[in-house]
Amino acid sequence: MSFAKVAVPVPLGQAFSYSIPDELSAELVPGSRVLVELGRRRVLGVVLAVVEGEPDVEAAKLKSVLAVVDREPVLSEELLSFLIELGRYYLAPLGEVMRLALPQVERSAKHRLEQQGLAGVEALESVGRLVRFAVPVEPPPGGAPPRGQAQEILDQLRSAGACEVSSLAKRWSSARGSVKRLEALGFVRLESRSQSIDPFFAEPVEKDVAPELTDAQRAALDAILAAVDGRQPAAFLLDGVTGSGKTEVYLRAVEHAVRSGSGAIILVPEIALTPQLVARFRARLGDAIAVLHSGLTDLERHAMWRSLRDGQVQIAIGARSALFAPVARLGLICVDEEHDGSFKQEEGVRYNARDMALLRAHRASAVCVLGSATPSLGSEALVRERRLGRLVLPGRARQSAELPKVELVDLRRIGPGPGGHKLISLPLYRAIEATLAAGQQTILFLNRRGFAPTVLCEACGATMQCPNCAVALTLHRRGRPTLRCHYCDYACALPEVCPSCSAQKLSEEGAGTERIEGTLAELFPTARVARLDRDVAGGHKSARILDRMRSHEIDVLVGTQMVTKGHDLPQVTLVGVLNADAALSLPDFRAAERVFQLLVQVAGRAGRGDSPGQVLIQTYQPEHAAIALAANHDVRSFVDRELAARRELNYPPFARIALVRVEAVDERIAEAAAERLADIARRAVPKGAEVVGPAAAPLARLRGRFRYRFMVRSKERGPLRTALLAVLRSPPDRRVRLTVDVDPMSML
């Protein structure tokens, strides 16, 4: 017999078997979305395979597929097989993995299911609104011919095909009545279809002229194009200094791939970078581009998905979710700023889009290009293992642009400037003053948002703590003074007295971007100061702030990591890093790597135009390797040093690790569950692997739950998988929340 293996939306790693009714056998194929019963519920599932033979349960006990939802499979064979492999790698439930790539149900498909009288369909979320279409059909023999306006409308339908009734009504005043008569006579059929929308490119973009390539760009591009034309899997690391023209290489490679009949995906780490990149691609390649990121509405996302699925568009650009775009004949994937931790999904299916881009390209016989000025140590290791080819862009693309001069400001010896604020040192104050006088722009980087990171009582020493998390509340003064948790979003008004001792001695310790913005406005009253962080620039707002920066409506921009990404701002000649040491003390083996990458990247925002750039890095640890080598733009020395340390300590990329996290409302329950699961992992782990822990997580309490974790580490993937499967298959405890994070990016 034939039966279907279906992935359903439950937290289980298995697929379920369903029998196939004869009337559905022709349209039920792998990649189809189907309506099935799961217990007493009716849910959407995805057909993984149609199998001939005996099912894994008695045939009489099999439930039947109730309906096929879409008129064509929503997942191609290439994308479906990639998703299955991704689920295996991250040990993630198949139903949740499939949802990464699924569009919402079209309103027309839901309407069709409702007409079949299927119970439970009304609960399905759908997108779009239904519009009426008139479709010409072969008339019955001997029928009376239409006359007048009805005949004109029929002639239009026969020449142009199906049309919206509303569009016909714009041309013929009595079109709706004429269409009903044509339906009654059997000349047309009325259908309800989902209305599509055009891509959101509302603003016109001026066409640009491709610049002359440097010799290094030409050599890198030639290697990529040869691989694309070869139609064989290939992967490259595009290792280019900041401002070296990596985007131009992506542009020409994508243009070549599309002209040769292939599709392309371009991934960026942040939504804030998407508008800039889309504008570059539109200026060169036109509007045949789909943009996918979390800032889209459901309707916009579905329109983009449909344009790709139907083959109208061959290029997808976006943040990590764009990896799952249904690009036909995929030939090229470019991952910009591949070192960035934002490619790691930290909720649900914890995939890393950078790693999975390599996998999808390999499975699709496509080319993957990872680009960065500060390559991740994982990519460096792959290059040294000859699994990635290195393409080097050693200099900036613009001949007049050179890497900026970097100066370390030792805050142990150098005091504050005229304002008295210790994070605006005298050298930085003078540099900002000179930059403003020259009519140029400044970027100041501080990776703390808010006004003050801590509020404490000087009388009793109590710190204002979040009641749900083991962290201090951050003071925000924009509008009403508010204490806010940046993890659970708890907020309360700033008290007038200490809640512990009632003393009126509350002190605001430290500084965030909001405080620095206000300080700069006081120090430089004629300067136009703005801020770029998640408090003021969520969603599409960041693009507006950056546009103001490009049009020189802003003189000084203060921001968090959002200002360190790959923005091209030619008038920025000064970059100041206010506190380079902040992240070095984090309990994470990647702390030094992240600090080095941040410093090199933010320094790279300076001097990209015709004027030379200057970078001031303020630090209490100028001798630290991550800071000293970043000041010299010495990527190679830092990589060699850090790889040697990782090898000695048996950390990635020389070992594979996974974190098993356990959370519970009761701390004793969380600790006991972690001990039990770690013991299971130890008994299951093969020789050559180890289990480290358990212990309380560095963030011991988060969102009202106590957190414990342990690490599984192995040279090879096999032993790691064996131990993790033993943990996942152990009897569940409903009092705890269990997550398994393969290749974690955060150790907190």
Please, is 470 exposed, middle or buried when counting C-beta atoms within 10 Å of its C-beta (0-12, 13-18, 19+)? middle
598: phi then psi, degrees, rounded to nearest 5: -60, -45
Give tens-digit pLDDT for 545-595.
Answer: 888 888 899 999 998 888 877 677 888 999 999 999 888 888 899 999 999
| Residue 312 DSSP one-character state | S
Distance, CA of 98 to CA of 92 (rounded, Å): 10
Identify the bridge partners of residue 407 per DSSP, sorted by sequence position: 616
Distance, CA of 523 to CA of 482 (rounded, Å): 25
3-class secondary structure, 657: strand
Q: What is the mean pLDDT of residues 407-424?
A: 90
What's the CA angle centered on 704, arms 491 and 589, to 5 degrees? Answer: 95
Q: Where are the domains of the chain?
A: 2-123, 130-194, 215-393, 405-451+511-645, 656-742
Structure tokens, 471: 């962290």
Q: What is the mean pLDDT of residues 81-88?
A: 95
Structure tokens, 619: 């630090």
Record: fold of 2-123: GIY-YIG endonuclease (3.40.1440)
CA atoms within 13 A on the CB side of 372: 26
Residues 6+ apart with CB under 8 A from 404: 575, 603, 604, 606, 607, 612, 613, 614, 615
pLDDT at 287: 78
CATH architecture, range 656-742: 2-Layer Sandwich (3.30)
> Alpha helices of 316-425 — where are they, by DSSP H?
353-363, 377-384
Sheet order of strands, 188-194 included: 163-164, 130-136, 188-194
CATH 3.40.50.10300, domain 215-393, yes or no: no
Give tens-digit pLDDT for 18-72.
Answer: 988 888 888 889 999 898 888 888 888 999 999 888 777 777 788 888 888 887 8
Q: What is the mean pLDDT of residues 398-415?
A: 85
pLDDT at 344: 95
Distance, CA of 671 to CA of 301 (rounded, Å): 42
| CA dist list (Å): 78 to 82, 265, 291, 327, 600 | 6, 14, 21, 10, 38
Structure tokens, 745: 């990016």
| Residue 111 DSSP one-character state | H
DSSP per-residue string spanning 197-209: ---S--S------
What's the CA angle centered on 290, arms 286 and 293, to 5 degrees? Answer: 135
386: phi then psi, degrees, rounded to nearest 5: 65, 30
pLDDT more than 70, % of the chain: 93
Residues 6+ apart with CB under 8 A from 690: 712, 713, 714
Distance, CA of 370 to CA of 388 (rounded, Å): 9
CATH number of 130-194: 1.10.10
298 versus 327: the higher-pLDDT residue is 327
Give tens-digit pLDDT for 347-369.
Answer: 999 999 999 999 999 999 999 99
pLDDT at 200: 40
Examine domains 215-393 and 656-742 and report if their fold is the same: no
Top-level CATH class of 405-451+511-645?
A: alpha beta
607: left (phi over 0), alpha (psi -120 to 50) or beta: left
Least trusted range by pLDDT, from 121-130, 169-178, 493-502, 539-548: 121-130
Give tens-digit pLDDT for 156-187.
Answer: 888 777 788 888 888 888 898 899 988 888 88
pLDDT at 566: 63
Whether 455 shows a pLDDT value over 50: the answer reads: yes
110-111-113-117 Cα dihedral, nearest 10 degrees:
130
Element (H, E) at 346: none
Distance, CA of 133 to CA of 184 (rounded, Å): 15
Element (H, E) at 569: none
| CA dist list (Å): 690 to 614, 709, 745 | 47, 14, 19
Please, is 255 exposed, middle or buried when counting C-beta atoms within 10 Å of its C-beta (0-12, 13-18, 19+)? middle
pLDDT at 712: 96
Give tens-digit pLDDT for 607-618.
Answer: 777 788 899 999
pLDDT more than 90, % of the chain: 55
pTM: predicted TM-score of the whole model, two decimal places: 0.85
Element (H, E) at 646: helix 635-649
State the chain's mean pLDDT as an integer.
88
pLDDT at 435: 95
Residues 6+ apart with CB under 8 A from 501: 457, 459, 460, 462
Q: What is the mean pLDDT of residues 518-547?
A: 84
Q: With contact defined as beta carbons under 8 Å apart, do 13 and 94 qualify?
A: yes
pLDDT band at 199 (very low <50, low <70, confident <90, very high): very low
pLDDT at 401: 67
Q: With contact defined as beta carbons under 8 Å apart, do 292 and 325 qualify?
A: yes
CA gyration radius, the chain:
29
Give tens-digit pLDDT for 125-153.
Answer: 655 555 688 888 888 877 778 888 888 89
Q: What is the mean pLDDT of residues 225-246?
A: 93
Q: What is the amino acid identity at position 595?
A: V
Question: Quick one: how far is CA 204 from the chain centroid?
Answer: 26
Q: With contact defined as beta carbons under 8 Å apart, do 463 and 506 qualify?
A: no
Element (H, E) at 192: strand 188-194
Distance, CA of 370 to CA of 379 (rounded, Å): 8
Beta strands in 346-416 (DSSP E): 367-372, 389-393, 405-410
